[in-house]
Amino acid sequence: MNLTRSFLLPVSAAFLLAGCGTAAIVSTPIENIDSVPLKVADLNENEFKTWPHADLIADTIPGMSVNKAYEELLKGRKGVKVIVGVVDSGVDIEHEDLKDVIWINEKEIPGNGIDDDGNGYVDDIHGWNFLGDAVHENMEYVRILKKGDDGSAEYKKAKAEYDKELQEAKMNKNQYEQILQMVKNADETVREELQKEDYTREDIEKLPSSNLKLVQAKAFLTNIMSVDTSLGSVKELKKELEEGIKHFSDQLNYNLNLDFDGRGPVGDNPDDITDTDYGNNNVIGPDKEEAKHGTHVSGIIAAARNNGLGMNGVANNVKIMAVRAVPGGDEYDKDIALAIRYAADNGAKIINTSFGKYYSPHPEWVRDAIKYAGEKDVLIVNAAGNESKDLDKTNVYPNDAVDNGDEIADNFLTVGALDYTYGPEMVAEFSNYGKNNVDVFAPGTKIWSAVPGSKYEFQQGTSMASPEVAGVAALIRSYYPDLTAPQVKKIIMHSGLTAKTNVILEGDPEKKQPFSEVSRSGRMVNAYNAIIMADKVSRKKLDL
């Protein structure tokens, strides 16, 4: 849901540090912000597309001060290349805004059918595809049901969730189809009146009240488009509804279908971690459109900056290593464990993991991979999840703690999602949270980024918040390569902005907590502050 910026609340910018040693770094950043007068206005199109890079003080939008960091701290400086592994649904490596930032395995000779570098993967020029030609997949609780009723509590829990999700998917698909038909009917009435195919929200508002049918069409379209103020036309509205119908159809046909076998094309045993001879080097995947999620994530991190195309990624000096391991459904633990190890072994210094599930038959495989990445000095940036849950009360996988206990590694950073409206509603209503199991918050609502076919669109979720932070981590590791993964994690957590306000959780005004209590750091990520702190730590002026 899109909201307006209409609050005046105090903000603390603690941990802003003074005295950086290089000429390019501002020597006296603002140390305390007591109040921020927020203008009351809807975001315009450009603000929507760029808000994650905005500055809370200058722009009154709770972005990460990325533009400010480049303009005031990084201008004229050269960093080192940083490889970021994107473990996801696949990446459109041919996208106009990504093709120049895709990792190339220079130790491998393309197309010769030989494992030239001896890493166990043949012709892995841009990464590896652990899913082969598989696209869709069951949810993990569906896979549990397919193994049969063993009388366990897990089976009963899985069955209850399956029944609930199946009913909701059927109901939602039916409702979306009905709404779409009503939109089409109203659209036809308006087009006849305006005598044109395409029209805007403003055109609808100016319609005369000449007859009852037109009045009803105008009222219906105005009402439904008010739910999402960023929708500029009925054409966009119909597209969103059609995408919703496809989503629920995919749930019914694949994710929740007890008769569907998504693993067949892969040809391995997903319950045998030693069975590693599978997959291929097609990191886009068999269907480019199904690589939308991973392409969007990659664009957020590293889309080429200032090239006049659709967007700027957070980080320059980045190469994206595409590791396809997340299908249209729940991922397999084996694929994720091997994907993390692949990225760590082949030079990634940051790995983004924008996925998750609530059942895991082999969580130890993934935790071992997380620890392995830690030994290789790799930071993993992970999405908290989109189910409005308190992760201190619910296990979500992957994670770096057993049953919400002590962390097993210090290289795993979990990210919740912020809305673009600063104030009580700035925690995205879908975002998971948790004082102990979510580390930071970052922009995740209505994020503009690349999608397959050299196109761009808005998406939202903690899946978008995680790569925003991965981009900040890449900036730090590019300009301060001496810093370790644990140091980068601490810098990101300690350098963010804090807000002196209670925030609404789960979209429920009755559920409010201090922003400081919904994550371990109590902070929203800030690239500008992070660069200043990284400089201090790098020069041994600050010990974390």
> Which domains, and CATH codes, for the chain?
80-137+279-528 (3.40.50.200), 146-255 (no CATH)
Assigned token pair, 123 = 């012709």
The confidence score (pLDDT) of residue 62 equals: 94
The confidence score (pLDDT) of residue 27 equals: 30
Q: Is 97 left (phi over 0), alpha (psi -120 to 50) or beta?
A: alpha
**Per-block mean pLDDT, blocks of 10 residues, the chain (544 long):** 23 33 33 45 88 93 96 96 99 98 98 97 98 98 97 97 98 96 93 88 84 89 80 85 95 98 97 98 98 99 96 98 98 99 99 98 98 99 98 96 88 98 94 98 98 97 99 99 98 95 94 96 97 96 88
The answer to whether the beta carbons of residues 381 and 353 sit under 8 Å apart is: yes
Active site residue 463: yes
- Dihedral sign for Cα 148, 149, 150, 153, please: positive
Element housing 367 (H / E): helix 363-375
pTM confidence score: 0.91
Residue 497 forms beta bridges with which residues? 524
Contacts of 60 (CB under 8 A, 6+ apart): 5, 36, 37, 38, 39, 422
- Catalytic residue of the set 53, 126, 293, 494: 293
Burial group, residue 264, by CB count within 10 angstroms (0-12, 13-18, 19+): exposed
Rounded CA-CA distance 434/394 in Å is 10
- Catalytic residue of the set 65, 354, 463, 466: 463
Contacts of 58 (CB under 8 A, 6+ apart): 68
Q: Which amino acid is at 468?
A: E
Question: How far is Cα of residue 332 from the mean position of the Cα atoms in its chain?
Answer: 19
Rounded CA-CA distance 297/309 in Å is 17
- Catalytic residue of the set 55, 59, 88, 390: 88
Kindly give the pairing relationship between strand 11-12 and strand 502-505: unpaired
Q: Which amino acid is at 309?
A: L
Rounded CA-CA distance 88/461 in Å is 14
The confidence score (pLDDT) of residue 288 equals: 97
Indicate the DSSP class of residue 233: B
The confidence score (pLDDT) of residue 375 equals: 98
